[in-house]
Amino acid sequence: MASLRDIKSKITSTKKTSQITKAMQMVSASKLSRAEENAKAFVPYMGKIQEVVGAIASGTSDSGHPMLTHRPVKKTAYLVITSDRGLAGAYNSNVIRAVANAIAQRHASKDEYVVLAIGRMGRDFFLKRGSNVIGEVIGLPDQPAFSDIKEIARRAVGMFTDGTYDELYMYYNHFVSAISSEVTEKKVLPLTDIAVEKGTTASYEFEPSSEAILEVLLPQYAESLIFGALLDGKASEHASRMSAMKSATDNASDLISNLTLVYNRARQAAITQEITEIVGGAAALE
């Protein structure tokens, strides 16, 4: 049985840990509020650009743009969005597991796919397993701007256009609520979700031509999909970290209660033992 000093030391260290996890929970809650606002504020922009791109693509006969063209798949790219740090529950492991399972099902060789990583956790996982990581971004701020990922987004789109790979999938955690998120797989390239129903969009006139505008707008649209997923993933990250730290704080409180009970029982037993020894000694002197 542990001594009173050992139990007291465990209680003290657990209380300090509880203070840290409580502080991290409050920080994550503050970051979550702003990240959720950023993600929601980006939705109207994405809706409008998708509407415009859909209107142009539907009105352009056989544009032949490489971003709209399906071709035989010889190599696939996976854009994986994770965090730079842990202590976020299953946030990173869920995304990494989904990507790893997809790769195992679709590919027989590492030459058939490449990985672009946003976040240290995903990058380290695939590097350790010998995957071909052709692009990475780490050290992103908690509230990222498009300029933070502009290079890798444009590189991802450009390499598809150049034929380096034939399709691009994106994996990230979609923010549902403060206590819930779901791993999402989205096929970014070739673009497959820009068609819109007739009568649901405004009428546009294009100058100089719809083909010229499509040439500029399609890469921007694909890059916006990546940035929107990053904002969504950041909101999920802060929510997951807040939930994880709340669970850690609750577990620490339960552990403190149990240790305090054990400490009090051990202390009472020690006092009883001392009294018994005193009474026994007094009786022996009579």
pLDDT digits over 109-151, tens only?
Answer: 889 999 999 999 999 999 999 999 999 999 999 899 999 999 9
Q: Which of 25-29, 84-88, 275-279 has the lowest mean pLDDT?
A: 275-279
What is the β-pairing status of strands 167-177 and 133-137?
Answer: unpaired
Which pLDDT value is given to residue 203?
63
Q: Which of 36-50, 118-132, 214-228, 270-284 has the lowest mean pLDDT?
A: 270-284
CB of 29 closer than 8 Å to CB of 23? no
Which pLDDT value is given to residue 204?
62
Q: Which CATH class is domain 31-242?
A: alpha beta
The CA distance from 165 to 221, in Å, is: 19
Compute CA distances 269 → 39, 262, 264, 272, 273, whole Å. Answer: 58, 10, 8, 5, 6
171, pLDDT greater than 70: yes
Which pLDDT value is given to residue 249?
94
Better-scored residue on pLDDT, 61 or 182: 182
91, pLDDT greater than 70: yes
What's the chain's Rg over C-alpha atoms? Answer: 28
Which pLDDT value is given to residue 199?
47
4-22+245-277 fold: Helix Hairpins (1.10.287)
54, pLDDT greater than 80: no
Closest by CA to 68, choosing from 185, 187, 218, is 218
Which amino acid appears at position 40 of this protein? K
CB of 178 closer than 8 Å to CB of 32? yes
For residue 97 the two structure tokens come to: 């597991």
Other CB atoms within a 10 A radius of the CB of residue 18 amount to 18
Which pLDDT value is given to residue 48?
82
Strand order in the sheet with 167-177: 133-137, 113-118, 76-81, 167-177, 180-189
Average pLDDT over residues 258-269: 89
192, pLDDT greater than 90: no
Compute CA distances 216 → 53, 92, 120, whole Å. Answer: 10, 34, 31
Which pLDDT value is given to residue 61?
52
* Residue 167 CB contacts under 8 Å (≥ 6 apart), including other chains: 73, 76, 77, 160, 187, 189, 190
For the chain, the domains span 4-22+245-277, 31-242
pLDDT in tens, 229-259: 999 999 999 999 999 999 999 999 999 999 9
Q: Share the mean pLDDT of the chain.
A: 86
